[in-house]
Amino acid sequence: MPQPAVLFLVGPTGSGKSALAVRLAKKINGEIISCDSMLVYKQMNIGTAKLSMKERQGVKHHLISIISPHETFSVNDFRKRALRAITEITNRGRVPIVAGGSGLYVRSLIHGLAEQPKGGEAVHQQLSDDLKRKGLGELYGQLQKIDPIRADEILPGDERRILRALEIFYLTKQRPSQWRRKRESLKDLGYRWVIFGLDPDRGELYEKINARVLAMMKKGFLAEVKRLSKGRLSQTALQAIGYHEMLAYLKGQLVLKSAIERTQQRTRQLAKKQWIWFRKEKGLQWIALKGNSPLSDAEKKIIREWQQKKENVK
């Protein structure tokens, strides 16, 4: 009997992964495991472009709206929950479809996750002091010199990951990208997998991203942020693009026009980072989104490839 297989659908933000995953799930008897670091949060709906229940069309989704925005959520948390969901889905005789753009989450599932050292209080305090004195930009510059590979995987404004990468270096005297002790991969756990990436035209995607941010504002994104601002958002929740900018506007630190433009810019930067990240993923098959019905064409191609490869995937 063949080993169960997992289908991954990845690509840059705004490329249509969520909608396409629903279409695929209905065709191949699948359930969707969200691979998005921000969709895990309850109450963060508009700014994360979370699918409504209607848009999910009755397809079962996992790892969406599972924790409070006041709680932290790590790649370790994701991996544990995602592996549990994969087991449950395959036990039901269905296909796990892992869909999203969080590259590290995808890598943690496929290849396993590096065991990282526990934090050191003295090092952590020193880095916190350096952050206050020097600013995040200078610390990111330090990381670029110490470990350009890891720095390239982190957005310049991602305070938590920048500090953690530097902490690993100062604790172990090894570059974070060289920390190689791994947990079990999907293959080690008895699963096969195939991965597809959506590849839209870059100019068209950037236009879509800009328009999506404006649409979010019309849907009430600012009101959503106002409600959330009544409590203390976790450090990981604050990494969500747009929320930080809208909070800055509410605090009088930015005018609304600048907050919107920064949200658009950061989202475009994220899309570029995701493209770069997934270009390095071995075995990924890119699906160009072209023509008048790009998602329909992509759906047909993926289903055709899935049927051909599911008996021989990795």
Q: Which of 178, 204, 222 is the last residue of a domain?
A: 178
The number of angstroms, rounded, from the C-alpha of 209 to the middle of its chain's C-alpha atoms is 16
Rounded mean pLDDT, 5-29 = 96
Q: Tell me the pLDDT band of 115, cut-offs 50, 70 and 90.
A: low
**Owning domain of residue 11:** 5-113+182-309
With a cut of 60, say whether residue 290 has pLDDT above it.
yes
If one counts the domains in the chain, the total is 2
Q: Tell me the pLDDT band of 220, cut-offs 50, 70 and 90.
A: very high
- What CATH number has the domain bearing residue 153? 1.10.20.140
Q: Are residues 98 and 138 in the same domain?
A: no
Within-domain flag for 35: yes
Binding-site residues, in ranges, read 11-18
Q: Are residues 173 and 215 in the same domain?
A: no
- Closest to 97 in 3D by CA, of 108, 110, 86: 86
Other Cβ atoms closer than 10 A to 314: 16
More confident residue, 171 or 37: 37
Binding-site residues for substrate, in ranges, read 13-18
Q: Are residues 96 and 125 in the same domain?
A: no
Least confident range of 174-188, 237-251, 273-287? 174-188
**Measured distance between the N- and C-terminal CA atoms of the chain, rounded to whole angstroms:** 15
Binding-site residues for ATP, in ranges, read 11-18
With a cut of 60, say whether residue 71 has pLDDT above it.
yes
Q: Are residues 146 and 261 in the same domain?
A: no
Residues 101-112 have pLDDT tens digits of 999 999 999 998
